[in-house]
């Protein structure tokens, strides 16, 4: 963006509000390439996307908005529908504050975000084909956080092509030897169902039914 006088930019910024929907938060993150970006999260959909500040060959700064998720993931369009008006509004207001830039948009390498994810596949006891996939998300409890793992694991879920559940952190609750542990669980494949609280036995009952009926079907 073309530089304005600093005092002019400060005076302009004081008169502009960057309003986010109540269900959306924005935080500054250090990305894998050593640069900072602003990440937008939704209370139910998890990470919506991010706004990147990329050095331009002209000495200006190129602002780029990215939606989170694979293009073939239906949830990506839901995220984009919420993210796009937010980032457009911010970019428009940044133009007002800093002035319009010059030069063409330049290609860039998007910083990657790699995580280690614990999964468990369950095979049929007769033919050994995988019949269920459980993805464990330790230390997190909310629907938005489960959606983050569904997004990250989208390609792997499609590859396995079996019923899949995302399982959040278990509550530690064993009373008089009775297992009262519960987790927030989200079924994401092949058909999504609303997240609900389940015990380990509840989850394994569903897995056992898939195993038992696989070759019988």
Please determine, for residue 178, whether its predicted confidence score (pLDDT) is greater than 80: no
Q: Give how many domains the chain has, as a whole number.
A: 2
pLDDT at 174: 66
Examine residue 179 and state whether it is found in any structural domain, yes or no. yes
Q: Indicate whether 151 and 81 sit together in one domain.
A: no
Q: Indicate whether 176 and 130 sit together in one domain.
A: yes
Q: Indicate whether 130 and 94 sit together in one domain.
A: no
Please determine, for residue 129, whether its predicted confidence score (pLDDT) is greater than 80: yes
Examine residue 14 and state whether it is found in any structural domain, yes or no. yes
Examine residue 56 and state whether it is found in any structural domain, yes or no. yes
The model scores a pTM over 0.75: yes
pLDDT single digits (tens) 79-103: 999 999 999 988 887 776 666 777 7
Q: Cα–Cα–Cα angle for 213, 137, 161, nearest 5°?
A: 35
Examine residue 122 and state whether it is found in any structural domain, yes or no. yes
Q: Indicate whether 172 and 94 sit together in one domain.
A: no
Examine residue 94 and state whether it is found in any structural domain, yes or no. yes
Examine residue 106 and state whether it is found in any structural domain, yes or no. no
Examine residue 68 and state whether it is found in any structural domain, yes or no. yes
């Amino acid at each position: 963006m073309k530089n304005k006088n600093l005092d002019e930019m400060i005076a302009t910024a004081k008169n502009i509000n960057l309003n986010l929907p109540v269900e959306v938060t924005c935080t500054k993150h250090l990305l894998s390439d050593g640069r900072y970006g602003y990440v937008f999260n939704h209370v139910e959909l998890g990470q919506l996307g991010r706004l990147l500040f990329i050095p331009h060959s002209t000495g200006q700064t190129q602002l780029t908005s990215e939606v989170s998720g694979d293009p073939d993931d239906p949830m990506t369009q839901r995220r984009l529908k919420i993210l796009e008006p937010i980032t457009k509004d911010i970019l428009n207001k940044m133009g007002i504050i800093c002035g319009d830039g010059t030069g063409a948009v330049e290609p860039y390498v998007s910083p990657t975000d790699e995580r280690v994810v614990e999964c468990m596949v369950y095979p049929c006891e007769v033919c050994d084909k995988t019949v269920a996939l459980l993805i464990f998300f330790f230390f997190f409890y909310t629907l938005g956080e489960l959606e983050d793992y569904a997004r990250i694991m989208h390609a792997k879920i499609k590859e396995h092509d079996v019923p899949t559940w995302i399982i959040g952190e278990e509550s530690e609750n064993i009373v008089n030897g009775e297992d009262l542990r519960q987790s927030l669980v989200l079924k994401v494949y092949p058909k999504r169902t609303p997240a609900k609280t389940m015990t380990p036995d509840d989850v394994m009952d569903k897995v056992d039914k898939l195993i038992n009926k696989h070759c019988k079907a």
